[in-house]
Structure 1
Amino acid sequence: MTFSIRAIIRALSRRDRGIHFGPERWVSLLAELDRRGGRRHEAGAFLLGARTGHLREVQDVVFYDDLDPEAYSSGVCILHAPAFAALWSMCRARGLTVVGDVHTHPKSAFQSEADRTNPMVARDGHIAIIVPNFATGRPARKTLGVFEYRGNHAWTDHSGARARRFLHNDLWSKFL
């Protein structure tokens, strides 16, 4: 009988869908968002990786201001067309795809009208994560905004208590 401990743990913990970060990558991402935003304005990044079924595996991060130096000049995250051309080129070169994006908000992690109507990547299954308080400290999963794009400006909200079953960024993530 062939079995996989990893598959059994994933099935028991219901981690076969959502987005997976190694815990070290998650912590360093938050610290870098805090640094780049300077606790004064939004900061963000694209999450690059692979998708297997309904699970996305984050393998690399590209910050908005590395693609567009003016990305934060208005105080909110805005990228122009050349930034996306550079992003797609990076993805091709690394053999990865954009599985999600993350950006900060000054207070709570709600999805603004601009976020809802202007997804960074308007592809079904794209994950958008919003981090409160400009990513200061180590926000608990339940404080994050976690949204899955469904097309035609429709989103599934995985925020609050639901984030525990969708955003996998804890110690167990290291083994799954």
Structure 2
Amino acid sequence: MTFSLTAIIRAFVAPDYRLRCPPNLWRDIVAGLERRGAGRHEAGVFLLGVDIAGKKEVRDVVFYDDLDPHAYDTGVCVLHGDAFARLWSICREKGLTVVADAHTHPGLAFQSQSDRTNPMVARKGHIAIIIPNFARWPIERTELGVYEYAGAHTWHDRSGRKASRFFYRGLWA
């Protein structure tokens, strides 16, 4: 019989999670977004990982400006087509897929009209995370905007109190 104590504990503390990220990696992601946005503009990142039976695990990241040096020129995140070609190439090389994306907003982590109508990855089940205040710490778990793409420009809002169970970043991630 094979079992994992970590998996058992995770099932108890975050039974409904759909996305998990090791806490050290999450801190590095947020710090990277804060540094890249410099408190003046949005910054973004693709979260790469695996999807096992509908539960996604973040293992690596690619920041938008590493794919497109002009991604932040307008103050909001804009990627041009060749950036996606680079992204898919990186995914193939690493044997990973895009499991989510995250980007910052200047104030609250609400989903803008542009966010709703222009998903970074328009695939059902894709998760978009919005981090408030240009990713300046502290960021409470309930302050994250977490949205799951349902297709046809519709989203399920997993934000607020639901976010901490849907997107797990705790000790047992």
TM class by smaller structure: over 0.9
Give 1:97 deviation, angstroms.
Answer: 0.2
1:18 equivalent in structure 2:
18
2:80 equivalent in structure 1:
80
Give 1:129 deviation, angstroms.
Answer: 0.2
Mind listing any 5+ residue stretches in structure 1 that lack a counterpart? none
Please give the alpha-carbon distance, in whole angstroms, between the structure 2 residues aligned to 1:64 and 1:22: 21
Aligned to 1:161, the other structure's residue is in SS state helix
Please give the alpha-carbon distance, in whole angstroms, between the structure 2 residues aligned to 1:135 and 1:11: 28
2:93 equivalent in structure 1:
93
For residues 40-59 of structure 1, the C-alpha deviation after alignment (integer angstroms, 9 at most, x for no partner) is 00000000000011211000
Aligned to 1:34, the other structure's residue is in SS state helix
- Listed as ranges, the matches of 1:159-174 within 5 Å are 159-173=159-173
TM-score after normalising by structure 2: 0.95
Query: Do the aligned partners of residues 27 and 132 (structure 1) sit closer, same or farther apart at CA in structure 2, a change above 3 Å counting?
Result: same
Give 1:154 deviation, angstroms.
Answer: 1.0
Give 1:17 deviation, angstroms.
Answer: 3.3
2:9/2:172 contact within 8 Å kept: no
**4+ residue runs over 6 A deviation:** none
Number of positions where the alignment pairs a residue of Structure 1 with one of Structure 2 = 173
Aligned to 1:100, the other structure's residue is in SS state strand
For residues 62-84 of structure 1, the C-alpha deviation after alignment (integer angstroms, 9 at most, x for no partner) is 00000000000000000000000
Please identify, of 7-16 and 161-170, the stretch whose mean Cα deviation from structure 2 is larger. 7-16
Please give the alpha-carbon distance, in whole angstroms, between the structure 2 residues aligned to 1:112 and 1:124: 19
TM-score after normalising by structure 1: 0.94
Aligned to 1:24, the other structure's residue is in SS state helix
Please give the alpha-carbon distance, in whole angstroms, between the structure 2 residues aligned to 1:153 and 1:129: 16
Please identify, of 12-21 and 77-86, the stretch whose mean Cα deviation from structure 2 is larger. 12-21
